[in-house]
Amino acid sequence: MKILIFTASTGGGHKRAAAALEEKITSLSPQTEVKVVDAMKTIGRVYDKTVCGGYHFMATKIPKVYGKFYRITDRKNLMYKTVMKSNTMMARKLLETIYVQKPDVVLICHPFVTTMISKLKRRGLIDVKAIGIITDYEAHRTYIVPKIDAYVLAEPQMKRKLVDEYGVDESIIHAVGIPIFDRFTDPFSKQDICQREGLSPELPTVLLMAGSFGVTAVLDFYRKLAQKHKTAQFIVITGKNKKLYESLKKLSKELNVSERTKLLYFVDNVEDYMHISDIIVTKPGGLTVTESLACGLPLAIYSAFPGQEMDNSDFLVAQGAAVPLSERTGADTVIDLLNSPQRLEAMKQSCKRLHIDNSAEKIFEIAKSLCENNEDKEKKQ
């Protein structure tokens, strides 16, 4: 069997989901050919820059406008039709990749690409099974198009919206979770990780994913946390934000908290820090949420932008797995949680309840089932 996984660079979540799928399928079935392709880059540099750059600009610079646009396009109206039509204009650009790879199944981690594959199938230009993977905790109408053979959802409650509002056949909906790497659920030793990283397994630990926040906001938040909680240790990951890293390094020295702050630039073992932390302060991207749930790590949600992030936040808060933070009182909220072991434990249990295990493996099983059903039909014909 050949599997082609389409992703896009509108945020890191789509790419991480695709990479997790590739790793799992390859480990389960070495004879299966798996190829991950960034669809936007395949279409062309200008298109990639327009879509990904435009998304980043709207979400970070004009989030309220993005939020309104997101809500409007979740309904059948002129704006929705315009967006869907524009999404399909470049569909033929994917044909060369599909013809070269000759996949039996296409796994799609981005709604724009789902729309393109749908058009190619409807036009009879490709004959391939297609699975759309929704990488957030609320559905959006742009994911829902004809000729998609299966939809994968982050959690079971989403199914009702697909059936009731979008008219999706319930038999093709699979609430098997968002795919993540096995290392988020593999056994671990907190003692060993802390010893290796120079941290104490006894102290309350806050993991701050700072790279996606504004520099000023993070510095102010960290300052308040460090000043108000005299015993907590902090793991602060800045991503590839060099300016933020240097500013935090300077501030930790000024506050005399360098010894209880693990400041990191870019890491490829975030699961280790999730495993040993008591709470994570983060924006609620779909993959970060899923990874946190897998680690049983309560979320303190900071600066969710209107749209899918706010949807993710609302879901987690309603389920008791997260708390929202305001810029003014956010540090106090985190400290209150650290000082409330019973409440924090209840949130951890909610995270564990929401986690769906072996998502990537289950998606692979769906792909195999679609191929087997297709082979049975061809034999009967």
pLDDT at position 202:
94
| Cα–Cα distance for residue pair 229/225, rounded to 1 Å | 6
pLDDT at position 270:
96
Q: How far apart are the first and last CA of the chain?
A: 21
Alpha carbon dihedral 18, 22, 24, 25, in 10-degree steps, equals 130
Query: Considering its fold, how many domains does the chain have in total?
Result: 2
**pLDDT, tens digit only, all 381 positions of the chain:** 999 999 987 767 889 999 999 999 999 999 999 999 999 899 888 888 888 777 778 877 888 898 998 999 999 999 888 888 888 888 999 999 999 999 999 999 999 999 999 999 999 999 999 999 999 999 999 999 999 999 999 999 999 999 999 999 999 999 999 999 999 999 999 999 999 999 999 999 999 998 766 667 788 889 999 998 889 999 999 988 888 999 999 999 999 999 999 999 889 999 999 999 999 999 999 999 999 999 999 999 988 888 999 999 999 999 999 999 988 889 999 999 999 999 999 999 999 999 999 999 999 999 999 998 765 555 555
Domain match, 158 and 130 both: yes
What residue type is 297 in one-letter code? L
Domain match, 124 and 208 both: no
Coil, strand, or helix at residue 295?
A: coil
Domain match, 364 and 349 both: no
Domain match, 240 and 200 both: yes
pLDDT at position 55:
79
| Cα–Cα distance for residue pair 311/276, rounded to 1 Å | 27
Domain match, 325 and 289 both: yes
Domain match, 334 and 374 both: no
pLDDT at position 105:
97
The closest alpha carbon to 302, from 282, 279, 274, belongs to: 282
Q: Where are the alpha helices (DSSP H) in the chain?
A: 13-28, 39-43, 45-61, 63-72, 78-88, 95-101, 111-122, 158-164, 190-197, 215-228, 242-254, 270-276, 286-294, 308-318, 330-338, 341-354, 359-380
List beta partners, residue 282. Answer: 301
pLDDT at position 59:
78
Domain match, 279 and 346 both: yes
What does the pLDDT look like over 64-92, one tens digit per residue? 898 998 999 999 999 888 888 888 888 99
Domain match, 208 and 112 both: no
Domain match, 241 and 159 both: no
- Supply the angle between the helices 330-338 and 215-228 in degrees, to the nearest 10: 40
- 289: domain range? 187-354
Q: Could you tell me the CATH number of the domain that includes residue 79? A: 3.40.50.2000
Domain match, 152 and 253 both: no
Domain match, 171 and 314 both: no
The closest alpha carbon to 229, from 313, 151, 331, 350, belongs to: 331
Domain match, 208 and 345 both: yes
Give pTM, 2 decimals: 0.93
Specify whether the CB–CB gap between 158 and 175 falls below 8 A: yes
What does the pLDDT look like over 194-216, one tens digit per residue? 999 999 999 999 999 987 666 67
